[in-house]
Amino acid sequence: MTARTATVTRATRETSITVTLALDGTGAVDVKTGIGFLDHLLDALGRHARLDLTVACKGDLHIDDHHTAEDCALALGQALDRALGERRGVARFGSALAPLDEALARAVVDLSGRPYADVALDLGRETIGGLACENIAHVLRSLAVAARLTLHVDVLKGENDHHKAEAAFKATALALQQAIACTGYDDVPSTKGTLDG
């Protein structure tokens, strides 16, 4: 089997990011974005999807957290897309529920080649750990667009916004782990014969 790995470097006037990714990893994660809660969420995503993941970002946090959050998600999504290649021999679909205490989240992934995200987290706070709550859903949407996958994530219940956000990322990780799993077949799992959009 060909190594399913990728390295993406993204440099703009707003951020400088390097992401390295191995799909068939052990969950070894090292994330440094400058935003504590974003690090925490990406760490949960990598660990629970069993990805080997490093993210190093220097962003314009003196402005706000938006560029860093968005660009890290875009770089990670692009790395995921590259590591998947033709998407040959993958399960393609994944779905999962993940709890965190009183919170329960659901995620469904399709490595369709068609970017789409429907994310409903029901967060009430303005920020968590230096990350605007509006950017938490934006990270998931940006990841889906850059990775060219379909993603549905919703929080089914919960009271604590930290718990709800983290449960959403854990559910996404578990669904992603299923979708990227190798099936042992050498086909592209599509009636079209391609997962290129």
Q: How far apart are CA 171 and CA 189, in angstroms?
A: 23
Q: How confident is the model at residue 2 (pLDDT cuts 50, 70, 90)?
A: confident
Q: How far apart are CA 165 and CA 21, in angstroms?
A: 23
Secondary structure element (H or E) that encloses residue 119, with its range:
strand 116-120
pLDDT tens per residue, range 114-158: 999 999 999 999 999 999 999 999 999 999 999 999 999 999 999
Q: Is residue 126 classed exposed, middle or buried when 0-12, 13-18 and 19+ CB atoms within 10 A define those classes? A: exposed
Average pLDDT of the residues of the chain = 94
Residue 148 tokens read as 């060219």
The pLDDT value given to residue 186: 74
Q: How confident is the model at residue 1 (pLDDT cuts 50, 70, 90)?
A: low
Domains of the chain by start residue, with CATH: 5-180 (3.30.230.40)
**C-alpha to C-alpha distances, 190 to 40, 44, 87, 111, 145, nearest whole angstrom:** 34, 30, 10, 10, 19
**C-alpha to C-alpha distances, 161 to 3, 134, 158, 167, 168, nearest whole angstrom:** 37, 12, 8, 10, 11
The pLDDT value given to residue 189: 59
pLDDT at position 194 over 70: no
Percent of the chain surpassing pLDDT 70: 94
The pLDDT value given to residue 3: 87
The answer to whether the beta carbons of residues 166 and 44 sit under 8 Å apart is yes
Q: How confident is the model at residue 190 (pLDDT cuts 50, 70, 90)?
A: low
Q: How far apart are CA 139 and CA 69, in angstroms?
A: 6
pLDDT at position 58 over 90: yes
The answer to whether the beta carbons of residues 76 and 3 sit under 8 Å apart is no
Closest CA to 173 of 123, 100, 112: 100
